[in-house]
Amino acid sequence: MTLYTKILLFFISLIILLSVVTTYSGIRSIGQIAVNELDKGLNSDINLFSFAVDREFYHIESRMELFSQRSAVQGAVMQRDTKKMQELLEDRLRAENIDIIQITDRKMRPVVTVTKDAAYDPIILPATDENTVSRGFISVFSGNQHFAAMYVSMPLRARNAILNEFFILDTRNLLVKNLSDLLSQKREEPVYVSIFRNDTRMFSTIFTVTGEQTQRLPGDITRALYQEKKTYIGKTPIGRAQYYTIYKPSPYNTERSDKWSYGIAVSENIFLPFKKKLLFIFITISILATSAVIVITFLITRGIGPSLEAIMNTCWRIEKGRTDSRIDESGIHMREFGLIASSINKMSAAVTERTDTINDNLRKISAINAELEEKTAIIREDRMRFLSILETLKEGVIAVGQDGIITYCNQAGARIMGKDPPDVIGNNYHDALPSLRVAGNEHTAVHEFVIGRKDPEEPLYLKVFSAPWSLENAPPGHILVLRDISAEKKIEEFKADFVSSVNHDIKSYLVPVSGFLKRILLGKYGTVEGSLKERLANIDENVTKIQHLVENYLNVSRIESGKIEFVIRPVDINEIARDIVNLYPRVRFSEEGHLLVLADRDYIERVIINLLVNALKFSPDDTEVAVATRVDGNMAIVSVTDRGIGIPEKEIPHIFQRYNRGTLGMKKEGAGLGLFIVKSVIESHGGAIWVESTPGKGSVFSFSLPLFQGEV
């Protein structure tokens, strides 16, 4: 199999694998996306329901106010003319969408009652202030059935009289009918409206589907509605089917009345079209992306095969002795192979030229003895080998004189500087590398040295090694070795972004798992006891540990990629220490007063907590851990002292390295990231961290932070 075929198959396999993983992740996320969208919609629907109820109460109150101001009404009430009041109420009953209307005295004893269709038992309203308008929901009994109704009670200006109007909530009620139709049209699916008194469903449009006339709410829902007074969203069985429901307590509930609430239900099949649409989009994007990358990969790599074949054929002819062979550079379309072909052609030309010169000289010095001829052959071979090695190195090699003038540059070095070797030799190295300074007799390595390039869009990252050199009877100079580390930088950035993305996704999946476990342990879905509760608690504890581990990996990724951000401001380090120490019974902190430092409060809290947790973890249960602060010059020093197992002296220089847990730490849980993160955070604040430890006696971890001097 040719190199071109291997590269092409590798890229195609990689892209197909990435597409499969992306599509699988998208399919796993579809269900959660759909549920989140449904939750938003249910909240919008219940808010619309609440608005419609409030608006209906407002209209009822406005119409009652106009009716009560009529002189005929006021006269009939003041004169206690029941016949006249009967006529006026019957006229209003025919004109308005009212089911029951009555006038009572101040003790709520009926004076006149008029109903539209049926005979209703006496209605007892909740006790309210007799001088204000009251409104809300009430249960009305007729025959052998209870009905949910809206009521408004308004004191009349006439003395000792109250006007009460009732509106039965059933399928004929315009508010229920209009609201149910509006919500159903909005979702293009049936939406069912329900009214509840305490835990009993008094009325629901879903009864036309289920055939049931009443159903009680579970205890966890009623607790959320009436005790916690918050909206409940979840999946609820109604009849023989499952529905997504939202319940909200009525804002008109009082301490002396029944507790009322209302709810909205939709079928769990409502978001099946949404799921199908998302699935189609994920699969389509994956197929299109895979196809596009395959085509692009083919176009990019198709020039590898012919280029390699031309170079290999020329090398084979040169190997056979045909040093006049040359590679046709016009037929090579890839830049790297073009540079190789150019180097081979130049090498072949140089070999041919030097061979001719040597043969001519050999004819002139044919009298020279065999020893000189042997030495000449050795020198020629060494020179060819040296030049071949230098010219084929991937690293750039540059010889610089004492005055900074370049005396030699190989192909890789010229390519890094963006020039040809003849154009580089004789120039000062500062022209191509203006930020580089070479001096002295020491070996030096310059890391992440950046060169701005005109043609490429991205800068060139270099690692430059310099070493002094001198020849006999020649002025000293330096040898520079330039190594292109741009690809390594990109790999590091990609690795950091990839780790951050994976850890973020893991964290986003763990949050709902942790929340669901906590609700189970709190009994939100039924009583959990015995070994099952203990096992669930263990699972919840392990999920919390995973979340902490993921948070550590996220912080490490942010530190490595340089994306961690701090909000630096004056904070009281003594106050932070006191607040944290109060959380741990075995920790002692006796400092008083205030000590202001410049720091990010959240990250410094994590640093102190991390050090305290480590100290408690590696200390006997009957010992204390001490926290202390002091001032040293313009720095504040915070120390955490324990009487634990200590740290061996040979391990102290490595204790703050990533993934280092030490020989004693192997017996404890942890990934070895905590102290690495602590060190990175403290040094990013302009401080330092160190440890003093004696095995078997304990350790003292200390760190410094800059004091607040009156300005940020």
Q: Are residues 551 and 576 in the same domain?
A: no
607 and 539 together in one domain: no
Rounded CA gap, 494 and 151, in Å?
66
pLDDT for 204 beyond 70? yes
Distance, in Å, from the CA atom of 614 to the CA atom of 627, rounded to the nearest integer, reads 13
Name the pLDDT band for 630 (thresholds 50, 70, 90): very high
Residue 142 gets which letter from DSSP? E
Over residues 380-400, the mean pLDDT reads 83
Residue 195 shares a structural domain with residue 141: no
* Residue-wise pLDDT tens digits, 591-622: 878 899 999 888 888 889 889 888 888 888 88
Residues 553, 587: one domain? no
Q: What angle do CA 161, 166, 168 make, to 5 degrees?
A: 170
Element (H, E) at 547: helix 530-561
Residue 596 and residue 529 share a domain: no
Whether the Cβ atoms of residue 307 and residue 332 lie closer than 8 Å to each other? yes
- Cα distance between residue 422 and residue 710, in whole Å: 59
Whether the pLDDT of residue 166 is over 70: the answer is yes
CATH number, domain with residue 688: 3.30.565.10
CATH of the domain at 75: 3.30.450.20
User: In this structure, are 693 and 544 located in the same domain?
Assistant: no
From residue 516, how far is each of 229, 424, 519, 607, 672 by CA, in Å?
21, 68, 5, 30, 29
- Whether residue 161 has pLDDT greater than 80: yes
Contact present, 216 and 234 (Cβ < 8 Å): no
Write down the pLDDT at residue 329: 72
For position 557, what pLDDT does the model report? 59
Does 277 map to a domain? Answer: no
Model pLDDT, residue 641? 94
**pLDDT single digits (tens) 486-514:** 777 777 666 666 665 665 666 566 667 77
Least confident range from 63-77, 151-165, 358-372, 624-638: namely 358-372
Closest CA to 4 of 299, 225, 224: 299
Q: pLDDT tens across 85-129, in order?
A: 889 888 888 888 888 898 888 778 888 888 887 777 777 777 666
For the chain, give the mean pLDDT: 78
Q: What percent of the chain has pLDDT over 90?
A: 8
In a domain, 5, yes or no: no
Residue 298 lies in a domain: no
Task: Give pLDDT, residue 168.
Answer: 86
Instruction: Examine the pLDDT at 6 and tell me if it is beyond 70.
Output: no
Q: Is 357 helix (H, G, I), strand (E, B) or coil?
A: helix
Sequence-separated contacts (24+) of 8-16 with Cβ below 8 Å: 8/297, 8/298, 8/301, 11/293, 11/294, 11/297, 11/301, 12/294, 12/297, 15/289, 15/290, 15/293, 15/294, 15/297, 16/290
pLDDT tens by residue, 441-473:
656 655 556 666 555 556 777 778 888 877 666
* pLDDT score at 574: 92
Highest mean pLDDT among 2-6, 221-225, 324-328, 490-494: 221-225
pLDDT of residue 433 exceeding 60:
yes
Instruction: Tell me how far apart the alpha carbons of residues 42 and 193 are, in angstroms, rounded to a whole number.
Output: 12
Residue 295 is assigned to a structural domain of this protein: no
Q: What is the DSSP letter of 483?
A: E
**Of the listed ranges 563-567, 586-590, 644-648, the one predicted with least confidence:** 563-567
Q: Check whether residue 317 and residue 456 sit in a common domain.
A: yes
Are 527 and 613 found together in one domain?
A: no
pLDDT of residue 387: 79
What residue type is 203 in one-letter code?
Answer: F
Q: Say how many domains are in the chain.
A: 5
Could you tell me if residue 64 is inside a domain? no
What DSSP character marks residue 565?
A: -
Average of pLDDT values for 414-418? 80
- Catalogue the E-assigned strands of 402-546: 406-409, 444-451, 460-469, 477-484
Whether 690 is in a domain gets the answer: yes
Query: What's the mean pLDDT in 212-224?
Result: 80
Whether residue 451 sits in one domain with residue 380: yes
Host domain of residue 255: 43-53+171-270
Tell whether 676 and 576 lie within a shared domain: yes
pLDDT level of residue 278 (50, 70, 90 thresholds): low
DSSP string, 680-693: HHHHHTT--EEEEE
Which of 87-91, 151-155, 268-272 is least confident? 268-272
Predicted confidence at residue 642, as pLDDT, reads 93
Choose between 550 and 392: higher pLDDT.
392
The model's confidence at residue 666, banded by pLDDT at 50, 70 and 90, is: very low
pLDDT for 369 beyond 80: no
> The whole model's pTM is what?
0.38
Tell me, yes or no, whether 240 lies in a domain: yes
Neighbour tally for 412: CB within 10 Å: 23
- Residue 30 binned pLDDT confidence (cut-offs 50, 70, 90): low
